[in-house]
Structure 1
Amino acid sequence: MRLFIAEKPDLARAIVQGLGGKSVKKEGWFQVGNDAVTWCFGHLLQLADPEDYDPSLAKWNMAQLPMVFRPWKHKPISDKKKQLQIIVKLIKQADLIVHAGDPDDEGQLLVDEILTYAKNKKPVKRLLINDNNTSVVKKALAKMRDNQEFLGLYQSALARSVADQMYGYNMTRGYTLAAQQKGFRGVLSVGRVQTPILGLVVARDRAHESHQQQFYYQLDGDFNFTQMNQQPLVFRARFQAPEDAPIDEKKRVIDRAYLDQIAQQCYSQPANIVKANNEIKYASAPLPYNLLNLQADASRKFNISPDQTLKITQNLRERHKLITYNRSDCEYLSNEQHGDASSVLSAIAATANVLNKAAKAADPSIKSRAFNSANVSAHHAIIPTATHGDFSKLTEQEKKVYQLIARAYLAQFFPKHQYRQTTIELDCQGHQFKTVEKITLKPGWLVLYKNDKDNDEVHRDKQSSKSKNPDLSSLQQNQQGFCQSLDLQQKETKPLARYTMATLLKDLARVAKYIRDPRLKKLLIEKDKDKKGEHGGIGTPATRSTIIKNLIDRDFICEKGKQVISTETGRDFFDVLPQAATAPDMTALWHEQQKAIQQGQDNIDHFLDGLVEYITTEIARIRSDGLDLKPSQIQATGKADPKNGPACPDCETGVLARRKGKKGFFWGCSRYPECKAIYPDSRGKAKLTKFEKPVLSNHLCKACQKPLIRRKGKKKASWFWGCSGYPECKQTYFDKAGDPDFS
């Protein structure tokens, strides 16, 4: 008996299809002949918490730091115990295990940690699949490898996982306890990825605010090249400053008098075209989405937060079956997926009426640059499935995100955008002027993006004349004209723009550019050498949104309009942290050590020894020196009432603080996320009776198809039914003998 352990249910179904033959669905697995195919739901295990090793560690105490748990141990994730038990039972029955985690370090860790937890001693094969297309799965099944070949990859991922937990727990407790000694009431949360993200936002804000306004000057000339008996041809070209001109680092002229003199010399003087170049160019469609780019566009276009986008795509994938795997960091598709084009285009046309015409105009025979198996990593790009959906059952936000994903896929089956680029270089009295004009000849895929503003991937036509639509393609080298007029403008240098959610997400994929140490910079870039779209980033597309949300929830950063800015609490916290905690350097250093572990040149214990040494030194420093906190910092983090609340009944260490959520005020523990206690608000005071978790019924909301919840009404002994999708869906129903009244 072979047991295939897939990372996700949809991969398990693909393996069943690839094995062929009759399959029987069991509880938590499939039987295919003598083979069993089961699945995980992401990680089924998590590293044990401090109190799992020693109950006394539930209460925070500086004397107990640093906490070092070696050997470490895992425990089941509470809502995934049942599936874990099924897999462990199947492992004991099998003769051969087939590891079918995703073909990356996290996928290797996810299944290997289950095998370790189950104390498996049986032989294990490795199945590498990054595309659920049946033909691809069959090829992968025919060339499985020994899982022992991937031991280094597993140990490398395990080292990072254990180190992240050890670093986060110790540093968070250390800084928080030192702050609480000064009267601070909240939690100063530290993480390898989280804290450098805060550092990026603080640094960007301070660069913006410290900007020194300066002036520079720009000279444009209007040149007349009208020939006899022809339509007027007047166009604008910009002065090109030579190297010896008074210019700044961006080659902008900073001396007005210098340009005044040139303007006087050129006015009404002859001009000669020294270069006239016409090129027909072709622009490929933007690639299909990975999660990062989807989150950035959803934020830019619809003001949907990264965390919301992740949840929306989860629904589109799991509930509606309308899109493929949504946490992908890849923008490419396999060559085999091109054969699915007709069925996917038909599904888009049938699902989203607004895209029906475009889907029917798409040509499935076109094979864009997106179809390249060599560029597919652990997953392929996020695209629509061949499933026809009921658009009316989607929320407004789900519709918007699906349309973004579908449009990017449709663009792959439209012709390339064809345009003519004309470059004209002029000489006037020995001074050089230049203009570049781009005019669309055939829009191709651009018709799908014509109303998409502020999209960096979409080329816009550039006309450089006062006339409505000048065509400079007829101009030739050595053609004579004259300078009709000149326009000298004073410009102000602009400060570095504050982050928006879209620009912050894009920056997280390329933070290496902020590292000053050339060696560390190179290491971080090397980490992403096989990932298209990542260039020395921190975090993953799946974790970044959660980390940003945590920073907002803890009041370290906030959204002001479309801008993402650091709060006073976030800046003050940043100022008391060492540079090692706030810079992305640690990720680069860890990558170097993880790579050595993967190649068998180092081991987990040596890596952790170094980390423990660093943590021990930092805890000793905090213990002896404390934190230099300002009076403004002595208050609870988060959107909390500054008044002291009651002690938290759950952990007996934290303090309850009044906070404002989407549904009104509530009281949460100051030690969040270590303590997740929540209590209702009663007229500004904490009601020390816990919220009762609502029970989801089997009845579905007619408006959005989400489960209904039976709730108590305001009147005594009265009940009603509300949607679990509230506040997005506010549908309610009367109660009729314990059931919703749909009439």
Structure 2
Amino acid sequence: MSKSLYIAEKPSVAQQFAEALKIKGRRQDGYIESDTAVVTWCVGHLVTMSYPEAYDTKYKRWSFQTLPFLPKEFKYEVIGNVAKQFEIVKGLLNRPDVDTIYVCTDSGREGEYIYRLVAQLADVKDKKQKRVWIDSQTEEEILRGIREAKDEAEYDNLSASAYLRAKEDYLMGINFSRALTLKYGPALSNYLGTRFTVLSVGRVMTCVLGMVVRREREIRNFVKTPFYRVIGNFESPGKDGAPVPFDAEWKAVEGSRYFGTPHLYKDNGFKDREHAEELIAMLREEPPMEAVVVSKEKKKETKNPPLLYNLAELQNDCSKMFKISPDETLKVVQELYEKKMVTYPRTDARVLSTAVSKEIYKNIGGLKNYGPMAEFAQEILDGGSFKGIAKTRYVNDKQITDHYAIVPTGQGAGSARNLPPLSEKVYQVICRRFLSIFYPAAVYQKYSLELERMKEHFFASFKVLAEPGYLKVADVNLAKKTGVEETFEEGQSGKAGDDAQNQENTGEAEVQSPKVDRTVLLQMLADLKKNDILTLVDLNIKEGETSPPKRYTSGSIILAMENAGQLIEDEELRAQIKGSGIGTSATRAEILKKLFNIKYLSLNKKTQVITPALLGEMVFDVVENSIHQLLNPDLTASWEKGLTYVSEGSITSDEYMEKLERFVAGRTVNVIRMNNQYDMRRFFDSAAAHYKRQESNKKEN
């Protein structure tokens, strides 16, 4: 009797498939078998690319004479510590009674690569192979994936791109790391006083290193600019006659004595304090101290729920809220996925598919069993807002490649309280973002005032939440809470802050008026009319200074990697690689982790702020003066786009490999011919000065 073989990526996933298929068979050593089916598993990767010495022993010794290393046929080998499981899987794949193989590794490029390598070394022939592609590990989704499994050959292009990605990283890593180590390693060792220094570079990791080092150097070279703002303290009579205080900020508009003068910092401050004092003195000259209302504007502002989470957005928010690394976030959400509680985590999409939107009520309904979300889920189901979701921006098939956004499945919600505290917080963050899209926009009431005194103008704006809309479910301010409970803070955006990595403090922050009862303030603003006379109680100077760019955090660097196109100046290339970024959702956290492990970057675990280490800066300078393209996101992202073209079938693997080999060979030979290693010392000295200063400060403290 013939049997079907199901091969998963991990033992825990294999168990889910066995349960879904109702396989009651006894668990053997490395597989589960019944009368009709066998379920087995990999343990992550079972096969890897061989080191150069496997091709020829001459490659074991690093030498310029053996570079560039560009094998015509690549070799692969079983990873030593999982050899036993590989032999088990190999035997099952080739068993005579197995006629159909269901490939159930993770539904993505890396999962496809894991299976293809195993099948390649196991020499699988004359078997029907079908690909199971699922978005969650619920029983319903597993059975659907098996029922709709396509022929494995339909994923040949995806497999080709996976092989090429590995070859690309391998060739760049082997050739560039060896060439740079041979050329510059002695100079680094001599400077650092170490015996031997290996330079580790790669397509993605070196680009990320470049982003962090450049940001650090921008901060060091930043020159603060002081500025002085003039704030007026005003009073307007309230309904009961009691004065209602508020603040307004002076700006130099046309008609002002300072308009267009070189004394200004932008239009709302002065470069020197004396001119701010001069303005205040002038405004105090003519009693009574009053100002007239020139204009009052009232308008509504709506704020729509944000798009759903992809992995990068979730990693960024968790870094901000819970001060955890992207690697930790991925680990937590992967566990939630394996518990069937959320959909596939390694996704770049932030929308749902049309097919999923038709049955989204099931996901919502399951959350009625999860206390903190129960009321919201019931409200959505009662109101029927989920019925029109397919016509909104939250559903878009064109924005989905492999998987849709991360959302709760609705299953397992009842046991969410038994999760570890951090896991429940991450789960609730995902739930809140998901349920938000079924609520209306938040509505704010905005008032803008313009006041005039002696041809000088003051401006004030007020923003009050009128209708909370989605904000009542979107509160993700959980980091400071001991437990997880439904709460609502007025004005909470539902997104943990904006990415302010490149924002400069220019003095344009909203003026904070004295605290007044909201009802009283709203009533005063509603009653205020053009030409009303207000009392100017006092004038003050508020001193500020421009701020340097902010350092990357473990979360914001992930977003920066995803949106690498924004860092590219060339408009045509930026458009070409839009949506590609640096690395993939599956690899970014691991790349960052490696940079910390090899001491190129440092991570403050309390704040999740990333800074370069001295060795990282030295490697940056070496690469900048040898293979500078590795530091640029345009090159890195364009390679990633090339892989996308292969997976789509737009270009062939041979075309890609030809370009790759030409690039690797050219840059490697260029390094060999260079003679600038002794010039590096001045760059090393420049970087080291900042670290010596840090050590000195530590000793003093």
1:128 aligned residue: 133
Is 1:501 the counterpart of 2:547? The answer is no
- TM-score normalized by structure 1? 0.70
CA distance in 2, matches of 1:233, 1:67: 77
Is 1:553 the counterpart of 2:597? The answer is yes
Q: CA deviation at 1:162?
A: 0.7
How has the CA–CA distance of structure 1 residues 417 and 64 changed in structure 2, closer, same or farther, with 3 Å as cutoff?
A: same
Unaligned runs of 5+ in 2: 190-195, 482-491, 499-509, 689-701
Count the aligned residue pairs. 609
* Structure 2 counterpart of 1:574, one-letter code: F
Q: CA deviation at 1:157?
A: 2.2
CA distance in 2, matches of 1:514, 1:39: 41
How has the CA–CA distance of structure 1 residues 373 and 131 changed in structure 2, closer, same or farther, with 3 Å as cutoff?
A: farther
Describe how 1:598-609 pairs up with structure 2 within 5 A.
598-609=647-658
| Maintained 8 Å contact 1:155/1:597 | yes
2:681 aligned residue: 630
Residue 196 of structure 1: SS of its match in structure 2? Answer: helix
* Structure 1 counterpart of 2:661, one-letter code: V
Residue 422 of structure 2: SS of its match in structure 1? Answer: helix
Q: CA deviation at 1:71?
A: 1.0
CA deviations on 1:366-424 (whole Å, 9 max, x unpaired) are: 378898585765365275961776989x8xxx533432333542565587785533222
Describe how 1:80-119 pairs up with structure 2 within 5 A.
80-92=82-94, 93=96, 94-117=98-121, 118-119=123-124
Describe how 1:569-648 pairs up with structure 2 within 5 A.
569-577=615-623, 578-626=627-675, 627-628=677-678, 629-630=680-681
Alignment equivalent of 1:512, drawn from 549, 565, 570: 565
- Identity among equivalent positions (%) equals 23
Q: CA deviation at 1:183?
A: 7.0
How has the CA–CA distance of structure 1 residues 341 and 327 changed in structure 2, closer, same or farther, with 3 Å as cutoff?
A: same
How has the CA–CA distance of structure 1 residues 580 and 108 changed in structure 2, closer, same or farther, with 3 Å as cutoff?
A: same
Q: CA deviation at 1:483?
A: 5.5
| Maintained 8 Å contact 1:22/1:32 | yes
How has the CA–CA distance of structure 1 residues 272 and 520 changed in structure 2, closer, same or farther, with 3 Å as cutoff?
A: same
1:276 aligned residue: 297
Alignment equivalent of 1:424, drawn from 448, 461, 465: 448
Residue 494 of structure 1: SS of its match in structure 2? Answer: coil
| Maintained 8 Å contact 1:5/1:100 | yes
| Maintained 8 Å contact 1:224/1:481 | no
Q: CA deviation at 1:199?
A: 0.6
* Structure 1 counterpart of 2:226, one-letter code: F
Unaligned runs of 5+ in 1: 350-357, 528-536, 638-743
Is 1:449 the counterpart of 2:451? The answer is no
How has the CA–CA distance of structure 1 residues 599 and 400 changed in structure 2, closer, same or farther, with 3 Å as cutoff?
A: closer
| Maintained 8 Å contact 1:438/1:463 | no
Describe how 1:274-673 pairs up with structure 2 within 5 A.
274-279=295-300, 281=302, 284=305, 290-311=310-331, 327-329=346-348, 334-335=356-357, 336=359, 338-341=361-364, 343=366, 346=369, 358=372, 361-366=375-380, 374=397, 377-378=402-403, 380-381=405-406, 386=412, 398-409=420-431, 412=434, 418=442, 420-428=444-452, 429=455, 431=457, 433-439=459-465, 444-445=472-473, 449=477, 457=495, 464-470=512-518, 471-472=521-522, 474-475=526-527, 478=530, 480-482=532-534, 484=536, 485-527=538-580, 537-559=581-603, 562=607, 563-577=609-623, 578-626=627-675, 627-628=677-678, 629-630=680-681
CA deviations on 1:8-65 (whole Å, 9 max, x unpaired) are: 55655665666x6665355345557745554444433222221222234233222211
Q: CA deviation at 1:204?
A: 0.7
1:224 aligned residue: 235
How has the CA–CA distance of structure 1 residues 280 and 583 changed in structure 2, closer, same or farther, with 3 Å as cutoff?
A: closer
CA deviations on 1:669-720 (whole Å, 9 max, x unpaired) are: xxxxxxxxxxxxxxxxxxxxxxxxxxxxxxxxxxxxxxxxxxxxxxxxxxxx
How has the CA–CA distance of structure 1 residues 147 and 550 changed in structure 2, closer, same or farther, with 3 Å as cutoff?
A: closer
| Maintained 8 Å contact 1:195/1:581 | yes
Q: CA deviation at 1:546?
A: 2.8
Q: CA deviation at 1:203?
A: 0.4
* Structure 2 counterpart of 1:405, one-letter code: Y
How has the CA–CA distance of structure 1 residues 308 and 116 changed in structure 2, closer, same or farther, with 3 Å as cutoff?
A: same
Q: CA deviation at 1:226?
A: 1.9
CA distance in 1, matches of 2:182, 2:460: 62
2:699 aligned residue: none
| Maintained 8 Å contact 1:289/1:405 | no
Q: CA deviation at 1:172?
A: 0.7
* Structure 2 counterpart of 1:219, one-letter code: V
Alignment equivalent of 1:169, drawn from 167, 174, 177: 174
| Maintained 8 Å contact 2:298/2:447 | yes
How has the CA–CA distance of structure 1 residues 445 and 521 changed in structure 2, closer, same or farther, with 3 Å as cutoff?
A: same
1:699 aligned residue: none
| Maintained 8 Å contact 1:4/1:97 | yes
Residue 381 of structure 1: SS of its match in structure 2? Answer: coil
1:44 aligned residue: 46
CA distance in 2, matches of 1:21, 1:31: 11
1:73 aligned residue: 75
Q: CA deviation at 1:171?
A: 0.7
| Farther-moved stretch of structure 1 (81-90 vs 54-63) | 81-90
CA distance in 2, matches of 1:405, 1:162: 36
CA distance in 2, matches of 1:402, 1:35: 36
| Farther-moved stretch of structure 1 (372-381 vs 548-557) | 372-381
Alignment equivalent of 1:186, drawn from 197, 212, 225: 197
How has the CA–CA distance of structure 1 residues 10 and 363 changed in structure 2, closer, same or farther, with 3 Å as cutoff?
A: same
CA deviations on 1:483-514 (whole Å, 9 max, x unpaired) are: 51443433211111223333333322222222
Q: CA deviation at 1:476?
A: 5.4
Q: CA deviation at 1:193?
A: 0.8
Q: CA deviation at 1:77?
A: 2.8
How has the CA–CA distance of structure 1 residues 435 and 249 changed in structure 2, closer, same or farther, with 3 Å as cutoff?
A: same
| Maintained 8 Å contact 2:136/2:342 | no
Q: CA deviation at 1:207?
A: 0.3
CA distance in 1, matches of 2:659, 2:478: 54
CA distance in 2, matches of 1:84, 1:379: 32
CA deviations on 1:412-458 (whole Å, 9 max, x unpaired) are: 55877855332223242474624132347656236663775999825
| Maintained 8 Å contact 2:249/2:511 | no
Q: CA deviation at 1:166?
A: 0.8
Q: CA deviation at 1:296?
A: 3.9
CA RMSD of aligned residues (A): 4.2
| Maintained 8 Å contact 1:7/1:40 | yes
* Structure 2 counterpart of 1:474, one-letter code: A
CA distance in 1, matches of 2:159, 2:330: 27
Residue 377 of structure 2: SS of its match in structure 1? Answer: coil
Larger helix proportion of the pair: 2
Q: Relative contact order (C-alpha < 8 Å, sep 6+): which is higher?
A: 2
How has the CA–CA distance of structure 1 residues 125 and 305 changed in structure 2, closer, same or farther, with 3 Å as cutoff?
A: closer
| Maintained 8 Å contact 2:630/2:636 | no
* Structure 2 counterpart of 1:409, one-letter code: C
- TM-score normalized by structure 2? 0.74
How has the CA–CA distance of structure 1 residues 371 and 142 changed in structure 2, closer, same or farther, with 3 Å as cutoff?
A: farther
| Maintained 8 Å contact 2:407/2:434 | no
How has the CA–CA distance of structure 1 residues 417 and 459 changed in structure 2, closer, same or farther, with 3 Å as cutoff?
A: farther
CA deviations on 1:337-382 (whole Å, 9 max, x unpaired) are: 6525565564x65xxxxxxxx3565534537889858576536527
Residue 577 of structure 2: SS of its match in structure 1? Answer: helix
2:192 aligned residue: none
How has the CA–CA distance of structure 1 residues 9 and 630 changed in structure 2, closer, same or farther, with 3 Å as cutoff?
A: same
Residue 513 of structure 2: SS of its match in structure 1? Answer: coil
